[in-house]
Structure 1
Amino acid sequence: MDATISVICFKSKTLANGEHPLMLRITKDRKRTMKSLGVSVHPSNWDFDRNEPKPKCPDRKYIQQIILKVKSEYQTKLLEKAARDEDYTAETLVKEQTREQIQSETVESFYLRTVEQLKREGAVGNAYAYLNSYNVLKSFNADKPLSYTFGQIDEAFLSAFEGWMRSKGNKETTLSFQMRTLRAMFNRAIKAKIVSREKNPFNEYKISKFNTRTPKRALSKADMMKIIDADCSQGKEIEQFAHDIFVFSYLCGGISFVDIANLTPANIADGRLIYHRQKTHGAINVPLSEKAKAIIGKYDSHCEQAGYLFPILDERVHITPLQKKNRVHKMCSRVNVALRNIAKRLKIKATVTTYVARHSFATVLKKSGVNIGIISEALGHHSLKTTQIYLDSFENSQIDAAMQNLL
């Protein structure tokens, strides 16, 4: 049975001004569903027999236009359903958004909706990257809200956005990050059918033009050995911990700080460290040297109580993704300050951070003649995914032999 579409003055509800709301009423298979049109009318101005405003109604033309638009919209829906031989109910028909409604969603509403969705899903890192992108766009459009649609973001818009960021003194890496984040959001909008694929301005505007190569951050093997052999036992507790984390990262394939923070006893099996990277979700399987095992052993008491190998996270305290993210960020900052102090005492000129251990792992092995397919110059630099693919493709024995060159 085909659905019937009508607009009625809903007498069962009276507003504070004495008017009744106008409702779209759809009936199919003897079931009715109604939806407010967002307008109301006084009963004295409505012809209840004909379901239309009376000639004397003050807003008659305006109301007639709304009724005509809504009826036409839903009649089109019915024709599309019939053409596709698609089943539906009165309720599902009302809940469906039209293509025009979807594509009229503003950049602002889609950004904020996406951020909230990612937070609910626990993808806190992505949520805050998009929130940062949203705030930068708001600053760019300081004179007006983000009330435009994705269809209005074209190559000229992107060029103007780039120029504005450059005028603020932003570097190439920042420009690249902001444009990549905006492109990712545009792709989400395409997937949600908010904008057509043909309107994607990034087909012409190339992000690859930005020079995002950063200076090499790897230490020489000699400087690495200075840090590894340094006696920090008499230093502050945070410096002892920072030293342990840095050495552990270097000895365990350049494991990142966030991955170290999330390690549990379940990640150790048969003398090996096995985990999935937080960033790329790639599987990592590396041998645990005796020195690495000794570092883990120092924190056994914390692990028994908190559930994590190292005193960064505590399963009794850090429960939500946001709590974990904030704690990891705070601890990483403290560790980096301590590492800089250690490097200064050892007269190492380079800036030492937790990430330097990752670069140093790759560089030391490369200079030792290890197969570049295993360690890859791009480890943590240009293509982490490619590095993971290479590492996964080699036997454990090959990786084990390569890591003998670290000390």
Structure 2
Amino acid sequence: MVLEDKVKPRVKPKFMVNVLCYKSKTLANGEHPLVIRVCKDGKKKYQSLGISIKAEYWDFSKNQPKRNCPNKEAIQQIIIQKTKEYQEQILEYKVENRDFTARALVDKVSNPVTAKTVKDVFDLQIKRLIDTKRLRYAEMHELVMRSLIKFNSHLDIYFSDIDITWLKGYENWLRANNLKENTIGLRFRTLRTLFNIAIEEKIVKSEYYPFDTFKVSKLSQKTAKRSISKDKVLDVLSYKGKTLYECLAIDLFTFSYFSAGINFVDMAQLTKDNLLDNRIVYVRKKTKKLINVPLQPLAIKLIDKYSDANSPYLFPILSKLHKTEQQKANRIHKVISKVNKNLKDIGKELNLPIDLTTYVARHTYATVLKRSGVNTSIISESLGHSSEKVTQIYLDSFENSQIDEAMKNLL
């Protein structure tokens, strides 16, 4: 009996990375480009190394420059470095247990994510917010960034450096500076948002995310009551202002209450173009949600009261002089401060249980409808909320008639 050696079948490699002299293409100087060839699952992808060589100086059997090749050492160094980059990326895919295609591998190595520091990402996000005209939100990011720089001396660190110990140190530093609980919570929520952006944009791996353990939710106090009863609303609406600013403050409060709790920023930027078929139609600046609510009789009276043929705006907050977004933001901030000061004085005179502000009109609108039995989802839609994610999924299905009917409960 003759024992025969079993010949093992040759296993075709799942993937292969090598460098070729791409002879099919000849450049004007007679040289051929050197390319990385990635083979995986029968698919091939080529990527130029940015260098070329004459065929006579290339060993096609060994896929390397010949001994007599000019600049041989430099070319070999480039080949070794580039091949190493591909091997390291393949190893990273294996460690993460992620599959990949030849194209994905080439794209990943050819277009690597530039390492960004926390400062870099803050600057980028602030620019994005400014570009999208969310100036107050941009200012909040700038404030948090400055706070972090004071704490850490600089932000030339990577997100992977922000761990539980670092966050606790920042929290203790904020407390030592006597910041209020909700202010501390706001700082951390902003930082958490930035960390999530960094993960989404592949700047840091999700495994470094510290906020699964460090709970930001513990850093918030229950918000003080911001609504008043319906009878107190009537006291405010019937208040006779003694100055022009007091009258404006009462009118803006009234308009907000009867216009689905529109906030001051959106109210300031309303123009005649937002009035369609006896309705107010606008896109909420904060959430970009389309708001479409009926004009109540008192709201119509106020629009008529402040109508100005020389101004496109419904109320005397902005004018044609305010052209840039920064000018508009500054003006709105200045006016709302004066309006709220007047409202607080009026609230004290009326013995209201809370400080009266324009935001109270928004909260009260929602509270009055809720106490009248209106569905929370309908209220959320009319307010243009985005934080109530569960209800927002199906809010767009409600018809205007449901909000119209709901708003009849305001008085």
The TM-score with structure 2 as length reference comes to 0.72
1:157-306 correspondence to structure 2 within 5 Å: 157-232=166-241, 235-301=242-308, 304-306=309-311
What SS does the aligned partner of 1:305 have? Answer: coil
Q: Deviations over 1:220-247 (max 9, x none)?
A: 1111101111222xx2211111111000
The question of whether the paired residues in 2 share the 8 Å contact of 1:363 and 1:377 is answered with no
Summarize the Cα distance change of 1:305–1:360 in structure 2 as closer, same or farther, 3 Å threshold.
same
Q: Does 1:127 align with 2:138?
A: yes
Q: For structure 1, which segment, 291-300 or 166-175, has the greater mean C-alpha deviation from structure 2 after superposition?
A: 166-175
List per-residue Cα deviations over 1:365-396 (Å, max 9, x = no partner).
22333344433699799945567667644333
Equivalent residue for 2:354? 350
1:149 equivalent in alignment to 2:158? yes
1:87-106 alignment, distance < 5 Å: 98=112, 102-103=114-115, 105-106=116-117
Deviation at 1:79, TM superposition (A): 7.2
Runs of 5+ unmatched residues, structure 2: 1-21, 23-31, 36-48, 55-69, 91-99
Alignment match, 2:51: 27
Distance 1:240 1:227 in 2: 11
CA-to-partner distance for each residue in 1:352-374, whole Å, 9 max, x for gaps?
Answer: 00000011112222233334443
Structure 2 counterparts to residues 105-116 of structure 1, below 5 A: 105-116=116-127
* Structure 1 Cα separation of the partners of residues 188 and 162 of structure 2: 12
Query: 1:3 Cα shift?
Result: 5.2
Taking the aligned partners of 2:214 and 2:183, their CA distance within structure 1 comes to 16
Task: Give the alignment partner of residue 331 of structure 1, picking from 328, 332, 335.
Answer: 335
Counterpart residue identity of residue 136, structure 2: G
Aligned ranges 1:15-54 → 2 under 5 Å = 26-27=50-51
Distance in 2 between residues matched to 1:172 and 1:4, nearest whole Å: 61
Structure 1 residues 332, 4: CA separation in 2 closer, same or farther (over 3 Å shift)? same
Whether the aligned pair in 1 keeps the contact of 2:318 and 2:331 (CA below 8 Å) is: yes
Contact (CA 8 Å) 1:362, 1:375: kept in 2 or not? yes
Maintained 8 Å contact 2:347/2:356: yes
Contact 1:253/1:361 (<8 A) preserved: yes
CA contact under 8 A between 2:293 and 2:382: conserved in structure 1?
no
Whether the 8 Å contact between 2:381 and 2:392 is mirrored in structure 1 is no
1:374 matched to which residue of 2? Answer: 378
Q: Tell whether the 8 Å contact from 1:375 to 1:391 is kept in structure 2 after alignment.
A: no
The higher radius of gyration belongs to 2
Instruction: Report deviation, 1:29.
Output: 9.8
SS in 2 for 1:202: coil
**How far off is 1:218 after superposition?**
0.6
Q: 1:77 Cα shift?
A: 5.0
Q: Which amino acid aligns with 2:331?
A: R
How big is each residue's C-alpha offset from its partner over 1:280-325, in whole Å with a ceiling of 9 and x where there is no partner? Answer: 1222222111111010111211xx32322111122x3222222222
Residue 51 of structure 1 and its aligned partner are, at CA, apart by 9.8
Query: Equivalent pairs: percent with the same residue?
Result: 41
Aligned-partner SS, 2:227: coil
Deviates more, 1:270-279 or 1:352-361: 270-279
Match of 2:61 in 1: none
The count of corresponding residues between Structure 1 and Structure 2 is 344
Q: Which residue type is aligned with residue 133 of structure 1?
A: V
CA distance in 2, matches of 1:396, 1:93: 48
Instruction: State the one-letter code of the partner of 1:132.
Output: L
**How well do the aligned residues superpose, as a CA RMSD in angstroms?**
3.7
In the superposition, relative to structure 1, how do residues 382 and 281 fare at CA in structure 2: closer, same or farther (>3 Å)? Answer: closer
Shift of 1:351: 0.7
Amino acid at match of 1:374: I
Instruction: Describe the SS at the equivalent of 1:130.
Output: helix
Alpha-carbon distance, 1:113 to partner = 3.4
Instruction: List runs of 5+ in structure 1 lacking aligned partners.
Output: 6-24, 31-48, 53-63
Distance 2:228 2:152 in 1: 43
What corresponds to 1:118 in structure 2? 129
Maintained 8 Å contact 2:381/2:396: no
Task: Provide, for residues 79-105 of structure 1, a one-character-per-residue CA deviation record: whole Å limited to 9, x for no partner.
Answer: 799996559x9xx999x6645xx23x3
